[in-house]
Structure 1
Amino acid sequence: MINNKVKELRARFDLSQEKLANRVGVTRQTIAALEKGDYIPSLLLGLKICKEFELKMEDVFWLEEEK
């Protein structure tokens, strides 16, 4: 499973789901699903999100070890 810090980063950067979605070219529902862990982003979307926050991929997304 892929985990992410998108929700906390949005709060830190004072971005709504809608604003982030517009900046990276997806719907608000996609961002909401991503934050809840119901959606695994494409590599392109992941890179766009990281670029918005000026962070490396591993600072935003990480793979949780399967049990």
Structure 2
Amino acid sequence: MKVKLINNEEWNTLEEYLQQNCIGENSFFGYEFKTKEACIIASATGYGDRFQAYYPEENMIYINGKAKIKFK
């Protein structure tokens, strides 16, 4: 099954999608992602054995697929 999102890009696996959207890893915030969708999916699925992901554009940390902490 291929992963297909609204923008019509396709990936062979969810892991591939998350790898292509991952900006890097921060020891405090967890993995950082380019898109909010990737961040939510990563935190909900435990990407890289972590259930925490950071979306720097909104300064938001997602834990278990839910917005939890917003930095100013």
Same fold (TM over 0.5): no
Give 1 or 2: higher helix fraction. 1
Q: TM-score, normalised by structure 2?
A: 0.31
Give 1 or 2: higher strand fraction. 2
Q: TM-score, normalised by structure 1?
A: 0.33
| Structure with more relative contact order (C-alpha pairs < 8 Å, separation 6 or more) | 1
